[in-house]
C-alpha cells in the first residue's frame, strides 16, 4: 500500500524502518527515553509512559504533570481506549462566576483549571499492561528534570512566545511560581541552554513511589488545594481524589478499505471521523483543487456538527452512532456543491499538545496524547511542586443552554485525540497530529495521504497542509501549489498563506508492514525524532 521509495515532495525524507521497537515523538530525548525502556525489557506501553513523562520535562511549553491524557492501545491483538481527562471542580458553577462578573471562561489563572488526568493515565496503563515497575519507567524523566537537559530550538521558540504573552502577569502573585519555575534571570531559555527542574523531579518521584496517590489524595493534592484556596481557585483535594480513568471503546468509520479509529467524546476525534464519513463517498486520484475543495467542505460540516453536539457524553443529547452513520455521511456528501459554503461554526483556537506513538516486537502499539492546552495552560504552577496546571475549562460555555455549558463535575469538549488504523481486524498502526482544533484536520489529511495516495508515513506528514480557521477562511502552507490555491479561491474559499509552520500541527506515525517491519514518520515542521532498534 505505502510507497517506500517514491518521493513526490523534494523536502520529504524516507521513513525510518526498524524491527524490534520504535518510539516517535517531537523531542529526541523523549524518544530515547522510550527506547531505553524498551531495551530494558519494557513493552510499548511502558515506553509510552516513559516518553509521556519525559515530555512533561523536556517540552513544558506544551504539556506538564497537570495535563490530561488520552490513549488508544493495541495489546495482544485487542484494542483499548483510555480517557483520562479531568472534570470541572465540584465547587465551580456558572452562577458563582457570574456573581464575580465573569461572563466568559478566562484563559489563564485558577478559574479554568480542571482536574489533571495524565499521571493517573500513566499509573493505569502501567498496572493494566506494563511489564516494568512504574519507578523504573519514570526514571528517565526524573533524571532529565533533576540533572538537566538542553532545550531544543522549537521548544525555545514556544517558550519565548509564552513569556511574551505572560508579560502582563509578571506582578500578579497567581503567576509568580510560573516565572520562578520557567524563566532564568527573567528570560526564556535559548536553544541548547541547560534547564533543570528540581521540583518537577521531586514530584515525579513522589508519583512513582506512591503510584500516583501523592497527586490524587496525598501531599501533592494538599498543596494544590492550598494554592487554589490562596488564589481564589475552585479545585480541591476531593476533586483529585474522585478522578477516575475511563476505559472506553474506540469508535471508527470504514474509509476506502481501512478502519480509522478515534476515541468517543468528550474528545473531538469524531470530527475527523465525520469528515471521513463524508469523504468516503468520493474517489480521489489526484491531490488537486477538486480533492481539496471536498476536504474543505467536509471539514466545515464535521466541525459544525461536532461543536454543536460534543461535550461530556453524560450531557450529550445526540447518539454518536447517528453522527457516524454511513447514511448520514451520504446525506452530508450530497450537500457539497462546486462552491464554498458558509457553515455556522465556532472559531478554532491554538493549543499546546504533545503526541507520541510506540511499538514493540510483540506487536503491541500505543497512540498517546497529552496536553496542557494553549502552551503552558493556565499559567499556574503549584508552589514547590513544578506542577503546571492545564486550562481545559476555558472551552466551557457560560450559557446554560449550550451543550458544553459549565457544570460542577462535568468534562468539557476536548481537543486532544489519538488515532489508529486497522485493516481486516489487524493493526496497521497509531497516528496523531497535535495542535488544538488542527488535530482532526491533520488526521483527515494524513489518513487520506496514506490511503488514497499510498504515501508512506514520512511523505504523508511532509505533504503541504491546510487549516480551516473560520467561516470560509483557510490557511495553507507556503509550499502549497499556487495554481491550486487560485482555483480554490475561484470556488469562493478565502485562502491565506501562513508562514508559521507550527500552526499546521505536529504529527507522528508508526505503521507495521505485513512482514512485521515497523515504518515510522516524524514531523518535519518542528523538533522531532524517531528512536528505534
pTM equals: 0.94
Q: Among the options 181, 311, 353, 526, which is catalytic?
A: 353
**Which of 268 and 436 is assigned the larger pLDDT?**
268
Determine the average pLDDT of the residues in 181-185: 96
pLDDT digits (tens, 9 = 90+) for 62-98: 999 999 999 999 999 999 999 999 999 999 999 999 9
- What's 292-327 look like in SS3? HHHHHHHHHHHHHHHHHHCCCCCCCCCCHHHHCCHH
For residue 331, pLDDT beyond 50: yes
For residue 164, pLDDT beyond 70: yes
pLDDT reported for residue 346: 37
Residue entry with cell 515523538: 25
For residue 347, pLDDT beyond 70: no
Q: Are 15 and 5 in contact (CB under 8 A)?
A: no
Determine the average pLDDT of the residues in 214-237: 98
Where is average pLDDT lowest: 124-138, 181-195, 329-343, 476-490?
329-343
Would residue 412 show up in a list of annotated catalytic residues for this protein?
Answer: no
pLDDT reported for residue 113: 98
pLDDT reported for residue 502: 74
pLDDT reported for residue 356: 95
Average pLDDT of the chain, as a whole number: 94
Share of the chain above pLDDT 70, in %: 96
User: What SS3 state is found at 350?
Assistant: coil
For residue 99, pLDDT beyond 80: yes
Nearest to 240 by CA among 391, 88, 373: 88
pLDDT digits (tens, 9 = 90+) for 247-296: 999 999 999 999 999 999 999 999 999 999 999 999 999 999 999 999 99
pLDDT reported for residue 527: 84
For residue 193, pLDDT beyond 60: yes
> Across-strand partners of 420?
261, 430
| Beta strand ranges found along 76-212 (DSSP E) | 78-84, 149-150, 194-195
pLDDT reported for residue 378: 96
pLDDT reported for residue 526: 83
> Across-strand partners of 262?
251
- What is the number of other CB atoms lying within 10 angstroms of the CB of residue 6? 11
List Cβ neighbours of 447 (8 Å cut-off, separation of 6 or more). 255, 258, 260, 272, 276, 419, 421, 431
Determine the average pLDDT of the residues in 299-314: 91
pLDDT reported for residue 349: 43
pLDDT band at 345 (very low <50, low <70, confident <90, very high): very low
pLDDT reported for residue 333: 94
Amino acid at each position: 500500500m505505502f510507497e517506500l521509495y517514491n518521493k513526490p515532495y523534494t523536502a520529504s525524507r524516507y521513513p525510518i524502518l526498524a524491527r524490534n521497537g520504535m518510539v516517535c515523538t517531537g523531542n529526541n530525548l523523549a524518544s530515547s527515553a522510550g527506547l531505553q525502556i524498551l531495551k530494558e525489557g519494557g513493552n510499548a506501553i511502558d515506553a509510552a509512559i516513559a516518553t509521556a513523562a519525559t515530555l512533561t520535562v523536556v517540552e513544558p511549553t506544551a504539556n506538564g504533570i497537570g495535563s490530561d491524557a488520552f490513549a488508544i492501545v493495541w495489546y495482544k491483538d485487542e484494542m483499548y481506549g483510555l480517557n483520562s481527562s479531568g472534570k470541572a471542580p465540584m465547587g465551580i458553577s456558572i452562577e458563582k462566576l457570574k456573581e464575580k462578573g465573569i461572563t466568559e471562561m478566562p484563559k489563564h489563572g485558577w478559574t479554568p483549571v480542571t482536574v489533571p488526568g495524565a499521571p493517573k493515565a500513566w499509573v493505569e496503563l502501567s498496572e493494566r499492561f506494563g511489564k516494568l515497575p512504574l519507578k523504573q519507567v519514570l526514571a528517565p524523566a526524573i533524571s532529565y528534570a533533576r540533572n538537566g537537559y538542553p532545550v531544543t530550538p522549537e521548544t525555545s521558540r514556544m517558550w519565548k512566545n509564552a513569556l511574551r504573552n505572560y508579560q502582563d502577569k509578571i506582578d500578579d502573585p497567581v503567576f509568580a511560581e510560573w516565572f520562578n519555575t520557567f524563566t532564568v534571570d527573567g528570560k526564556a531559555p535559548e536553544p541548547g541552554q541547560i534547564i533543570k527542574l528540581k521540583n518537577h523531579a521531586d514530584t515525579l518521584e513522589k508519583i512513582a513511589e506512591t503510584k500516583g496517590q501523592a497527586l490524587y489524595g496525598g501531599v501533592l493534592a494538599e498543596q494544590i488545594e492550598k494554592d487554589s484556596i490562596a488564589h481564589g481557585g475552585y479545585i480541591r483535594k476531593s476533586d483529585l481524589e474522585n478522578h477516575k480513568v475511563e476505559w472506553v471503546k474506540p469508535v471508527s468509520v470504514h474509509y476506502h478499505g481501512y478502519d480509522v479509529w478515534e476515541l468517543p467524546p468528550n474528545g473531538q476525534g469524531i470530527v475527523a471521523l465525520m469528515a471521513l464519513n463524508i469523504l468516503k463517498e468520493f474517489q480521489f486520484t489526484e491531490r488537486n483543487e477538486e480533492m481539496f475543495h471536498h476536504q474543505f467542505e467536509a471539514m466545515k460540516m464535521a466541525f459544525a456538527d461536532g461543536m454543536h453536539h460534543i461535550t461530556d457524553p453524560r450531557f450529550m443529547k445526540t447518539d454518536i452512532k447517528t453522527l457516524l452513520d454511513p447514511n448520514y455521511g451520504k446525506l452530508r456528501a450530497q450537500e457539497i456543491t462546486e462552491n464554498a459554503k458558509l457553515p455556522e461554526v465556532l472559531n478554532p483556537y491554538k493549543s499546546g499538545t504533545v503526541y507520541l506513538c510506540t511499538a514493540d516486537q510483540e506487536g503491541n502499539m500505543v497512540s498517546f496524547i497529552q496536553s496542557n492546552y494553549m502552551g503552558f495552560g493556565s499559567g499556574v504552577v503549584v508552589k514547590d511542586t513544578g506542577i503546571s496546571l492545564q486550562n481545559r475549562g476555558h472551552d466551557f460555555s457560560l450559557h446554560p443552554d449550550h451543550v458544553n455549558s459549565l457544570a460542577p463535575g462535568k468534562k468539557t469538549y476536548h481537543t486532544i485525540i489519538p488515532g489508529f488504523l486497522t485493516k481486516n481486524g489487524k493493526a496497521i498502526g497509531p497516528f496523531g497530529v497535535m495542535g488544538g482544533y488542527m488535530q482532526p484536520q491533520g488526521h483527515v489529511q494524513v489518513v487520506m495521504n496514506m490511503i488514497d495516495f499510498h504515501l508512506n508515513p514520512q511523505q504523508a506528514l511532509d505533504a503541504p497542509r491546510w487549516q480551516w480557521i473560520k467561516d470560509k477562511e483557510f490557511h495553507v502552507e507556503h509550499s502549497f501549489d499556487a495554481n491550486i490555491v487560485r482555483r480554490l479561491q475561484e470556488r469562493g474559499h478565502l485562502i491565506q498563506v501562513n508562514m508559521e509552520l507550527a500552526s499546521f500541527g505536529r504529527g507522528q506515525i508508526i505503521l507495521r508492514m505485513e512482514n512485521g517491519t515497523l515504518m515510522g514518520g516524524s514531523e518535519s515542521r518542528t523538533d522531532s525524532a524517531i528512536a528505534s532498534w
